[in-house]
Amino acid sequence: MLPKQHSFKLRQQRGFFYKAERYFSHYFTLFYVPAEALKTVVVIPKKVVRLATGRNKLRREIESYLLETIPEVKITSASFFVCLVAKSAAVSADKTELLTELKKAYTSLKKT
């Protein structure tokens, strides 16, 4: 689970997806909006993993990978609210592939 300082409630952000810029990768789609601090929420659609237990497991794995990438990203990039939506390719990906893709995605975010 992401610490409170790195997570936010997506439901409290009205019109988030309308305002958000998008970054597409093979494993994820990132929606991001400039903010005062780097905060992330991970979404696993029901189309990607059918059972809730599988969605929770994948979400926890991705969040643990995020904890490894956030210290590196905080130094090099600006702050954003990021909604990370997993694609079906993320289910069968290795840890190293996901880590490199997360680092690449987070460092490519640009302030508008």
Per-residue pLDDT of the chain (112 residues; tens, 9 = 90+): 778 888 888 888 889 999 999 999 999 999 999 988 889 999 999 999 999 999 999 999 999 999 888 887 765 567 899 999 999 999 999 999 999 999 898 888 876 5
Question: Residues 57-83: pLDDT tens digits?
Answer: 999 999 999 988 888 776 556 789 999
Asked if 7 contacts 41 with a C-beta cutoff of 8 angstroms, the reply is yes
CATH class of 4-107: alpha beta
- Residue carrying structure tokens 């997506």: 10
Domain ranges of the chain: 4-107
pLDDT at 45: 96
Give the DSSP letter of residue 12: G
The count of other CB atoms within 10 Å of the CB of residue 98 is: 20
Report DSSP letters for 57-71, one per residue: HHHHHHHHHHHHHHH
